[in-house]
Amino acid sequence: MRSTMRWPMLLAISPTLLGGCAMAGSNAACLHVRDYTKAEQAAAADELDRLGTASVMGRFMADYGALRDEARAACR
C-alpha cells in the first residue's frame, strides 16, 4: 500500500481506537489489552519513526501507550 494511502486511513482509524477506551467508564476494572506481534510492533515503530514523535500521531500513540499501561496495571 502506498504510504500516501496509509496516513489518511490511520488518521481515520485512530480516533476510534483511542475513543474506545473512553467508553469503558471508570468502573471497568480490567480491560483487555490486545497483544501485537513483533512484526506489527516493528512496522508501527518504523512508521512512527518516519513521522516523528512530535507529530500529532506521535502524540496520539504516546497517549495510547499510557492508556495501555494503565489498563495492564488495573489487571494486576
- Per-residue model confidence as pLDDT tens digits over 16-33: 665 655 555 554 567 778
The pair phi, psi for residue 36, each rounded to 5°, is -105, 145
- The stretches of 28-55 forming alpha helices (DSSP H) are 38-51
- Judged against a pLDDT cut of 90, whether residue 5 lies above it is answered with no
- Judged against a pLDDT cut of 70, whether residue 48 lies above it is answered with yes
Calculate mean pLDDT across residues 69-74.
84
- Confidence class for position 37, pLDDT limits 50, 70, 90: very high
Query: What's the sign of the alpha-carbon dihedral 6, 12, 15, 21?
Result: negative
